[in-house]
A and B are shown apart, each in its own frame.
Chain A
Amino acid sequence: MTPQLEILITVVIVSSACAALGVFLILRKMAMMTDAISHTILLGIVIAFFITKSLTSPFLIIGAACMGVFTVYLTEMLKRTRLMAEDSAIGIVFPFLFSIAIILITKYAGNTHLDVDSVLLGELVFVPFDRLVVFGRDIGAKSLYVMGTILLINMLFIAVFYKELKLATFDAALASVLGFSPVFIHYALMGLVSITAVGAFESVGSILVIAFMIGPPVTAYMLTDQLKKMLILSILIGIVNAIVGYWISAILDVSIAGSIATIIGITYLFAFIFAPKRGILAMIHLRRVQQIEYAVKSLLFHLYNHEGTDIEKEESNRHSIYKHLHWDKRFLERVLKKAARRDYLSVNKEYLKLTPEGRKYAIKSYEVL
Chain B
Amino acid sequence: MQKYIIEVEDMTVAYEKKPVLWDIDIKIPKGVLMAIVGPNGAGKSTLIKAMLNLIIPISGKVLFNGACYESQRRYIGYVPQRGSVDWDFPTDVLDVVLMGTYGQIGWIKRPGKKQKEKALDAIKKVGMEEFVDRQISQLSGGQQQRVFLARALVQDADIYFMDEPFQGVDAKTEKAIINILKELRSRGKTVIVVHHDLQTVKEYFDWVTLLNTKLIKYGKVDEVFTDENLRMTYGTIGPILKGE
In the assembled complex, A160 has its CB within 8 A of some CB on chain B:
yes
Which A residues lie within 8 Å of B15 (CB)?
82
- Tell me which residues from 92 to 113 in chain B have a Cβ below 8 Å from any Cβ of chain A: 92, 96, 99, 102-103, 105, 107-108, 110-111
**Interchain CA distance A162-B155 in the complex, whole Å:** 20
Q: Is the CB of B89 within 8 A of A170?
A: yes
With contact pairs A170-B86, A173-B49 given, residues A163 and B80 touching in the complex (Cβ less than 8 Å):
no
Which A residues lie within 8 Å of B78 (CB)?
173-174, 177
Q: How many residues of B contact A (CB 8 A)?
A: 30
- Tell me which residues from 141 to 157 in chain B have a Cβ below 8 Å from any Cβ of chain A: 151, 155
Q: Please, what's the 1-or-0 string for A152-188, where 1 marks a CB less than 8 Å from any CB in chain B?
A: 0000000011111011011101101111100000000
Among B80, B108, B151, B155, point to the contact of A160 (Cβ < 8 A): B108
Q: How far is the CB of B81 from chain A (nearest CB, A)?
A: 9
Nearest residue (CB) in A for B163 is A173
**Interchain CA distance A162-B96 in the complex, whole Å:** 14
With contact pairs A163-B110, A178-B73, A225-B135 given, residues A171 and B90 touching in the complex (Cβ less than 8 Å):
no
With contact pairs A81-B16, A173-B49, A180-B102 given, residues A27 and B73 touching in the complex (Cβ less than 8 Å):
no
Nearest residue (CB) in A for B96 is A170
Which B residues lie within 8 Å of A221 (CB)?
90
**Interchain CA distance A166-B98 in the complex, whole Å:** 12
**Interchain CA distance A226-B88 in the complex, whole Å:** 11
Q: How far is the CB of B20 from chain A (nearest CB, A)?
A: 13
Nearest residue (CB) in A for B84 is A173
Q: Is the CB of A179 within 8 A of B90?
A: no
Nearest residue (CB) in B for A169 is B89
Q: Is the CB of A173 within 8 A of B107?
A: no
Which B residues lie within 8 Å of A164 (CB)?
102, 107-108
Q: Please, what's the 1-or-0 string for B44-73, where 1 marks a CB less than 8 Å from any CB in chain A?
A: 000001001110000000000000000001
Nearest residue (CB) in A for B111 is A163
Q: How far is the CB of A85 from chain B (nearest CB, A)?
A: 16
Q: Is the CB of A177 within 8 A of B54?
A: yes
Q: How far is the CB of A158 from chain B (nearest CB, A)?
A: 12
Among B86, B89, B91, B103, point to the contact of A179 (Cβ < 8 A): B103
**Interchain CA distance A177-B52 in the complex, whole Å:** 7
Q: How far is the CB of B238 from chain A (nearest CB, A)?
A: 36
Which B residues lie within 8 Å of A167 (CB)?
99, 102
Q: How far is the CB of A218 from chain B (nearest CB, A)?
A: 12
Q: Is the CB of B54 within 8 A of A173?
A: yes
Name which of B73, B102, B105, B110 has the most chain A CB atoms within 10 A of its CB: B102
In the assembled complex, A230 has its CB within 8 A of some CB on chain B:
yes
Among A27, A160, A163, A224, point to the contact of B89 (Cβ < 8 A): A27
Which A residues lie within 8 Å of B105 (CB)?
163
With contact pairs A167-B102, A174-B80 given, residues A227 and B90 touching in the complex (Cβ less than 8 Å):
yes
Q: Is the CB of A170 within 8 A of B99?
A: yes
**Interchain CA distance A179-B74 in the complex, whole Å:** 9
Q: Is the CB of B80 within 8 A of A227?
A: no
Nearest residue (CB) in B for A176 is B54
Which B residues lie within 8 Å of A224 (CB)?
90
**Interchain CA distance A180-B104 in the complex, whole Å:** 11
Q: How far is the CB of A171 from chain B (nearest CB, A)?
A: 5
**Interchain CA distance A224-B88 in the complex, whole Å:** 11
Among A27, A169, A170, A225, point to the contact of B137 (Cβ < 8 A): A225
Nearest residue (CB) in A for B157 is A177
In the assembled complex, B240 has its CB within 8 A of some CB on chain A:
no
Q: Is the CB of A177 within 8 A of B90?
A: no
Which B residues lie within 8 Å of A171 (CB)?
80, 84-85, 99
A-B pairs, top 6 by smallest CB distance, nearest first, are A178-B103, A177-B78, A225-B90, A227-B90, A170-B89, A171-B85
Q: 8 A-B Cβ contacts within 8 A?
A: A167-B99, A170-B86, A170-B99, A171-B99, A178-B155, A179-B103, A225-B137, A230-B90
Starting from the known contacts A163-B105, A177-B73, A221-B90, 17 additional A-B residue pairs (CB-CB under 8 Å) come to A27-B89, A27-B90, A163-B108, A163-B110, A170-B86, A170-B96, A171-B80, A173-B80, A176-B54, A177-B54, A177-B103, A178-B73, A178-B103, A225-B91, A225-B135, A226-B91, A229-B90
